[in-house]
Amino acid sequence: MIRHILCSSIFLLIVCSNVIYSQFIKVDYKIHNVGKVRQFVSNMGTLDDNFESGRMTNYKGLIFSEFPAGSNEEHLYQGGIWVGAVNADGDTLVSVTRTHFTPSEFFPSGEVWDTIWVVCKGDTVDIPYWPGYVAVSDQDFICRYSDYNVLNVPNHHPLYLDVIQRSYAWSAPPLDEFIVFNYDIIPVKNDLKDVYVGFWIHGEIGDNEVATNFIDEKTLFFPEKFMAVGEDAPGGDDGSTISPIGIKILYPCDTSLVWTYKWYTHEDLAGYDRDPLRYKDAMAKGIIMSNRPDIERFHVSICFGPFEEVKVGDTIHVEMGEVFGYGFDNMMKNADYLDFLKERKYKVPFPPPKPRFRVVPMNKAVYINWQPEDDDVNPENYFDPYRGDGCKKPFEGYRVYKSTISPQGPWTLLAEYDLPDNEYGNNIGISYEYTDVGLLNNVEYYYSVTAFSKPDSVTNFPSLGSSVNGNAKTVVPGPEIPESVGKVAVVPNPYRGDIAYNEYNPPWEKPSGTRKRWMEQDRRVQFINLPRNCEIKIYTLSGDLVYTHRHDGSAGYWDWNLTSNVGQAIASGIYLFTVKDEISGKMQVGKFVVIK
C-alpha cells in the first residue's frame, strides 16, 4: 500500500529576542505516543520546543519526554545533535540543533513537504528526498533540516549540511520503552575534514506536577556501552521518578574513534559560542569524564569522530537510542536489548495492525463494534515476515480497554476474545462487539480496541499487541437530545466547594488541555437535557445577569465553570436560570445553589 502523508505544520517568520530570522520555514512537530514513551520531535532536530525566549511550534504540552505515558514524569529539558568539521578553507566550524548560549542553527525549508512525515508499520510513502520509504517501526517520524536554510543567525557560519532524521517507536513490549533515532548527515556544498558528531542533552528528571526545580540528578557514564545515564535521586522537590534516561550510541560503536564524554554546569557552555573552542574542547578532546560526584542536573554531551574525509554527497550515518525502564536495572536491560535489535536491523516480530472500531454513545452506556469492513485493514489477515516460526497468519485475538482518566490511560481490560481450538490463550472465540453499561451520562470515557498475535515459539518472542494509546477514542454517553425545554436541570445541585470533584472516578472536574493540576477555573456545573438550539441565562437571586450562553450543538448538555461574563468566579448563593428554546420559543426557569 502506498500513501502520501503530509502532517500539519505552520509557516513562521521567526522573531526572537533581538534576532530576526527573515526566511520562511516550515516548522513542525510530532509526539511519539504508541508505546510507553511520549517523546517530542521537531523538524529542527530538537527534542524539545524551547526556542530561546519562546516556543517555536504551537505545541501546547508541558512535557517533552514522558515515561511512562500518563505519569507526568519529565526526563528532558533540551536536547539535539552537534556537527563539527574543518571546511575546505581550513575553518573549524560547528553547527548545533540545540545548546545553551547559541541560537538554533538547523531549520527545515519552507517547502510544503518539508515537514514531519509519519509512516506506520506496513506503509510505504514517497517522500521527495526518500522515494519509496518503508516503515521500520510501528510509528516512524521522518524529517529533514539543514544548517543553511536560515543564514542570518548571529555568529553562525554553516557547514552546509543536510540532515535526514528518522525516529522509531514501537507499541509492544519489550520494544515500547525506548525510541531509536537515525541521522544521515550529508554535506551539500563543501568537502569536509575531521568531522565530529555529538549529542547534547540537558536533563530534567522528575515529576513535572510537583517539581519546583530539577537539580537532584545523578550523571553516569558507561563508555563500554557507549551510553550516558541520568538518574533522579530519590525525593527532593521533584519527587522520585520511575525511570532514569539513557542516551546510547547505537552506531558507530567503534572504539578506534575518538570519544569525548563530558558533563557540564550551565556556565561551562558560555564560551562555546565560538566554534573552534566547542570543537576542540567538547567534541574532539578525547576525554571521558568520570561520573559526576555531586547530585546536580543531568547535563552532558557525547561526541565522536573524526570522519576524516567526507565529500559532497557522502553520508555519515549515526544512530542513537533514548532508553527508559521501570527502574535502573530494567533500563540497562533495555539498553542491552537495543544492541540485539540493532544487530537484527530492527527486524523483529511485530503486532497486528490496530483494528478500526466504531463507538455509539447511549443512555448510560457505550456500544463498541470492531467488525472489519471492506475498506478496513483487517488485523486477522496480517503477515509478519520476521517471525521465527514462519506462521502465515499470526493473529490471535482482540482486547477491549477502558479508561476514565485520559486517552493515555491508565487502562482497564474489559474483554479479551481469542481464536478457539488452539494451544494459545483461553480459546473463548472471536467477537466483534461489546457494550459497556452502568456509566454516567455526559462524562468523558476513553476506549481502545487492540489486536494481538500468537507468541513466536522459535525466537521466544512474546505475543504482541497493537498500541492501546494509539487507538484510543473519547466517548460521552448520554440520552437522546430532547425536542424542547421542560426537563433542564443543573448538576450537581447544590454545588459544594468543599468536595474534591476532581478526585471522583471518573473525575467530575479535571484540568483542561495538557495541564495536570486542578485549578479554580476547572470548577463545573452541568446543564442537562438541553435542546439543540437554546439560550441559557444565569442570574443572581436579585436579578443581576451573571452569564449568557447560546447553545448550538449536537450535545444535550453544557458545562459552566462558575465564572461570570467578565471572568470573575461567582460567590456562594442561590442562582436562577432561564433556558429559551430558540426554535419553539418555549422558556423554562430553574434555580441552583453554590456553596463554596
pLDDT given for residue 13 in this prediction = 44
- The pTM for the full model equals 0.76
**CB proximity list for 429: less than 8 A, separation 6 or greater:** 417, 418, 419, 420
What class has domain 10-343? mainly beta
Q: What is the C-alpha separation between 207 and 439, in angstroms, rounded?
A: 32
CA distance 595 to 579: 23
pLDDT of residue 514: 66
* Pairwise CA distance, residues 199 & 98, whole Å: 9
Helical (H) or strand (E) element with 341: helix 328-343
What are the pLDDT tens digits along the chain (596 aa)?
333 333 344 444 443 433 444 457 889 999 999 999 999 999 999 999 865 545 677 787 889 999 999 899 999 999 999 999 999 999 999 999 999 888 899 999 999 999 999 998 878 999 999 999 999 998 999 999 999 999 888 889 999 999 999 999 998 888 999 999 999 999 999 999 999 999 999 999 998 877 777 889 999 999 999 999 999 998 888 888 999 999 999 999 999 999 999 999 988 888 888 999 999 999 999 999 999 999 999 999 999 999 999 999 999 999 999 999 999 999 999 999 999 999 989 988 888 999 999 999 999 999 999 999 999 999 999 999 988 899 989 999 999 999 999 998 999 999 999 999 899 999 999 999 999 999 999 999 999 999 999 999 887 788 999 989 889 999 999 999 999 999 999 999 999 999 999 999 999 998 876 677 888 889 999 999 999 999 999 999 999 999 999 999 889 999 999 999 999 999 999 999 999 999 999 999 999 999 99
Report the pLDDT value the prediction gives residue 16, as an integer from 0 to 100: 40
Output the CATH code of domain 489-595.
2.60.40.4070
Q: Do domains 358-475 and 489-595 have the same CATH topology?
A: yes
Question: Quick check: 155 and 272 in contact, CB under 8 A?
Answer: no
Cell of 484: 424542547
Cβ-contact 310, 186 below 8 angstroms: no
Q: What is the C-alpha radius of gyration for the chain, rounded to an integer number of angstroms?
A: 27
Let me know: does 469 contact 34? Beta carbons within 8 Å. yes
User: How confident is the model at residue 420, as a pLDDT?
Assistant: 96
Distance CA 574, CA 493 (A): 10
Domain ranges (residues) in the chain: 10-343, 358-475, 489-595
For residue 525, the one-letter residue type is V
How is residue 552 written as a grid cell? 448550538
From the list 356, 403, 593, the residue with the least C-alpha distance to 495 is: 593
Q: Which residues pair with 195 in a beta bridge?
A: 307
> What's the CATH code, domain 358-475?
2.60.40.10
Please state, in angstroms and rounded to a whole number, the distance separating the CA atoms of residues 209 and 504: 19
Task: Determine the 3-state secondary structure of 371 from DSSP.
Answer: coil
How much is the pLDDT for 19? 43
